[in-house]
Amino acid sequence: MHTMLVLLSLILLLIVFLGALRSVFQVKRPFLHTFSEAGQAYIVLTALAGGLLAWGHFGNRLQIRAVEVPGFKAEIEGLQQKVTTLSEQMEVFFNSKKVEVFNRNNWNRVRTVENSKRQIALEVTLEQEPIPNSVEVFEGVLLMPEQNYQVSGKVIRFPANTDKPGNGLTIKYYPRIATARSQTQ
């Protein structure tokens, strides 16, 4: 395999060399343009041949450790480690989803804070403090409008269709994870 890569790269370099010679000696060869006519193609062939020669020579020992472009430098191992860490954190986050169900058995945790002809608003104290925009409240299978949720600590206030435990309430949320920084504040 490595020998074939080296031979292929040498053939490509020979094509470039013959194109340069044709430019110097003005010899007519079929399918071989002068360097001035096909300079970019010869440059690409040279780069390809150099890459194949390096791959054939170094083989599996060649490893890319970093990519550097003006204004940006990334180390491959560091990025892989960060992606793995982020992936693990996302798994922990999604596994922390809480679902609390309120029915006839525990309806005493649900308080009616507004009961007018226009609107009914309920308030519930959750087991853990939710991340504000992660809350979903279902009355039976019907999702309550999220723009009207009011979250304050563990207490959530939301509009409802009824203040009776008939269909029950289901509240899904992601709890706020206590970090070392938030514990010190």
- pLDDT above 90 coverage of the chain, percent: 12
Look at residue 144 and tell me whether its pLDDT is greater than 80: yes
Q: Give the separation between CA 18 and CA 46, rounded to whole angstroms.
A: 12
pLDDT of residue 34: 57
Look at residue 168 and tell me whether its pLDDT is greater than 80: yes
* pLDDT per residue as tens digits for the range 70-82: 767 666 666 666 7
Cα 155 to Cα 94, 99, 100, 124, 133: the distances in Å are 22, 15, 13, 6, 14
Residue 183 near residue 153 (C-beta atoms within 8 A): no
Q: Which residues of 84-98 are buried (b: 16+ CB within 10 A; e: fewer)?
A: eeeeeeeeeeeeeee
Look at residue 121 and tell me whether its pLDDT is greater than 80: yes
pLDDT of residue 181: 47
* pLDDT per residue as tens digits for the range 53-102: 777 767 666 666 666 777 676 666 666 667 677 788 888 888 889 999 99
Q: Half-sphere exposure of residue 30, counting CA atoms within 13 Å on the CB side?
A: 0
Residue 27 near residue 12 (C-beta atoms within 8 A): no
